[in-house]
Structure 1
Amino acid sequence: MTTSRMDAGELIRRWRDRLDPVDAGITVGTRRRVPGVRREELAQLAGVSVDYLIRLEQGRATRPTDSVIGSLSRALQLSRDERDHLFRAAGLLPPGDRLIDDHIPPGVARILSRLGDQPLAVYAADWQLVRWTNPWSALLGDPNAVPAADRNLVRVVFSCDIGEFVRSERDAHHFEAALVSDLREAGARYPSDPRVGGLIDEMNARHPRFAELWQRAEVGVHTSDRKTIRHPTVGDITLDCDVLTAAGSDLKLVLYTAMPGSRDAELLEFLRVVNRPGSVFESGHERPVCARRPRVVNGNLLMDSE
């Protein structure tokens, strides 16, 4: 059977066997005997149920949605050509060149895997959150706690009181203006994309501050910043926030780092350690909950029992 005649389920099985678990951020044990990643692991990476993935691979789920195929493409770390082929094999049209692309190419997926111990997230051109690491969740809250449509930074900034960030009024206004300018640039690059067009229309209609900034017609991109985050467990933590652009795409990689040896680096490491699977953090909370609370005494991080 040639590749062009394979159905979507067969392609997914082949590409699942090809994917290196290490590149997918999966810890490999010594007793692992099969190549690639297991169904349960791929299902978790893609955010679909194992039962549905089994039915899809066996050809019993014949009408997968665009979002499911897109999620599987990202989890499998497919190239753009492979992603488009999977869409067609599933009976779907691949994302058009004039539409915002959420696809994470293999190189960016490997960066996420290698930097999985750092607060790192990937945003699309319209600031829609696409992927994030566990330390990101520990620092800023678990994005899984909110609907996917609400994981847009522009919508969050203008719709919510972002209490975890400590900013002067001047810094807050500068950040808002930078986001609006960046979104204007995305709208110009993707004039036919309904997602970015709908977001711009929604924000102009509902949020006077956004509409005011939009009328200024400023164009630019949001790059780097230094931010103080008011964390409910460790208190204020000041970090450098860098925004990197993946070559060949409009994806934005947002990375938080601290100066080595600083108190902020120590607090960031604490959050990383306690957020590991099986740690004292409880899952399912929008903000982290810790059974033992840290405090800083004479520059040292100590743990207090509740």
Structure 2
Amino acid sequence: MGASDHGFGRLLHAWRDRLAPADAGFPAAPGRRAPGLRREELAQLAGLSVDYVLRLEQGRARHPSAQVAGALARALQLSRAERDRLYRSAGLLPPRDETISTQVPPGVARLAARLGDVPIGVFSADWTLVWWNPLWSALFGDPALVPAADRNLARGLFGSGAARAAVASVRSERGDEVFAASIVADLRDAVARYPADSELDRLVQGLCAQSVDFARLWATGTAAAPHVSERKTIRHPEVGDIRVDCDVLLVPGVDLRLVAYTAAAESSDAGKLDLLRVTGGGATLAPPRPQLESGLDSRGERRG
């Protein structure tokens, strides 16, 4: 049965109308008539084309993938129960409890969206980037332009191509080796918590085959230093080096990490972040998403 047979489009429209623009990180424009998100705003947040969202709502697109359903659930800030209802309305099985979730709870999404003057990224338990704000895009480049499977920090540290380029500009004052070891330790902990997650297993096995350094760290099994607040230097092509404090905040109960970069008020580094906030780092403040039929490539996100 198609998505329209289960009211998928009606759910999308209703939940789009429910979500306040400010809670999704959009400024309130004077004279705005839409009660919630505009269709183009939802498309932008989910990485879909506006036409595809329109056809989903009208029931003309009848078979959304699990990747599309997951992207829409995150964009609409659905609760877990609502996410599962959206999946079932599309004729899909909701994500299993024993696999890593990329669902961002509504409260966390609202909090992150309202901290627009701070670059924020939300990562799942395997260090896959699942949510980011415009200033994150201005600082690091738009993650939506990177294949979804490459938006993983471990792949960035130990892999190549687009994943590597996304993290190449960041240097840790604790030392890159120490930081890399802590990420490997986090993946080892994730494997212990989610032994049934086949995608996590493929990530680890792939990195072991691809990277001698990853394989060495994985094989040693030594305990790494826990994540702490630390100073990092980010080399930006437009404004130069920016020294920032990096804080990793754990979200209890959902196994997410909220990563925030800040600089001391009135410092030159804070001034550079302010400039990026205004200019978008050479891009628009609200980062454009690829205008694809599904919004995700064939290597797209595997979980909702």
TM over 0.5: yes
In 2, Cα distance between equivalents of 1:278 and 1:225: 28
Counterpart of 1:62 in structure 2 is 62
Aligned residues: 278
Compared CA separation, residues 13 and 155, structure 1 to 2 (3 A): same
Q: Within 5 A, what are the aligned runs for 1:28-47?
A: 28-47=28-47
User: Could you report, residue by residue, the CA deviation over 1:231-289 in whole angstroms, capped at 9, with x for unpaired residues?
Assistant: 22222221110111112211111100011222211222122222189879x989xxxxx
Counterpart of 1:259 in structure 2 is 264
Counterpart of 1:291 in structure 2 is none
Q: State whether structure 2 residue 184 is matched by structure 1 residue 191.
A: no
Counterpart of 1:230 in structure 2 is 235
Q: In structure 1, list runs of 5 or more residues that go unmatched.
A: 285-306
SS of 1:240's equivalent in the other structure is strand
User: Could you report, residue by residue, the CA deviation over 1:107-166 in whole angstroms, capped at 9, with x for unpaired residues?
Assistant: 111012101221110111111111111211222222233211111110011123754234
Compared CA separation, residues 265 and 252, structure 1 to 2 (3 A): same
Counterpart of 1:296 in structure 2 is none
SS of 1:22's equivalent in the other structure is helix
Of stretches 147-156 and 36-45 in structure 1, the one that deviates more from structure 2 is: 36-45
Counterpart of 2:108 in structure 1 is 108
Compared CA separation, residues 283 and 69, structure 1 to 2 (3 A): closer
SS of 1:267's equivalent in the other structure is helix
Asked if structure 2 preserves the Cα contact closer than 8 Å seen for 1:117 and 1:134, the reply is: no
Counterpart of 1:123 in structure 2 is 123
SS of 2:24's equivalent in the other structure is coil
One-letter code aligned to 1:70: G
How far residue 167 of structure 1 moved from its aligned partner, in angstroms, is: 4.8
Counterpart of 2:181 in structure 1 is 177
Asked if structure 1 preserves the Cα contact closer than 8 Å seen for 2:172 and 2:231, the reply is: no
Q: Within 5 A, what are the aligned runs for 1:237-248?
A: 237-248=242-253
TM-score, with length taken from structure 2 = 0.85
Counterpart of 1:81 in structure 2 is 81
Identical positions, percent = 53
Counterpart of 2:208 in structure 1 is 204
Counterpart of 2:299 in structure 1 is none
Bigger radius of gyration: 1
TM-score, with length taken from structure 1 = 0.84
Asked if structure 2 preserves the Cα contact closer than 8 Å seen for 1:184 and 1:219, the reply is: no
Asked if structure 1 preserves the Cα contact closer than 8 Å seen for 2:44 and 2:288, the reply is: no
The structure with more helix, counted as a fraction of residues: 2
Compared CA separation, residues 165 and 27, structure 1 to 2 (3 A): closer
Q: State whether structure 2 residue 220 is matched by structure 1 residue 216.
A: yes
How far residue 28 of structure 1 moved from its aligned partner, in angstroms, is: 2.3
Asked if structure 1 preserves the Cα contact closer than 8 Å seen for 2:138 and 2:281, the reply is: no
In 1, Cα distance between equivalents of 2:58 and 2:238: 46
Asked if structure 1 preserves the Cα contact closer than 8 Å seen for 2:100 and 2:124, the reply is: yes
In 1, Cα distance between equivalents of 2:251 and 2:128: 15
Which structure has more relative contact order (CA 8 Å, sep 6+)? It is 2
Asked if structure 2 preserves the Cα contact closer than 8 Å seen for 1:120 and 1:136, the reply is: yes
Asked if structure 1 preserves the Cα contact closer than 8 Å seen for 2:172 and 2:230, the reply is: no
In 1, Cα distance between equivalents of 2:125 and 2:284: 34
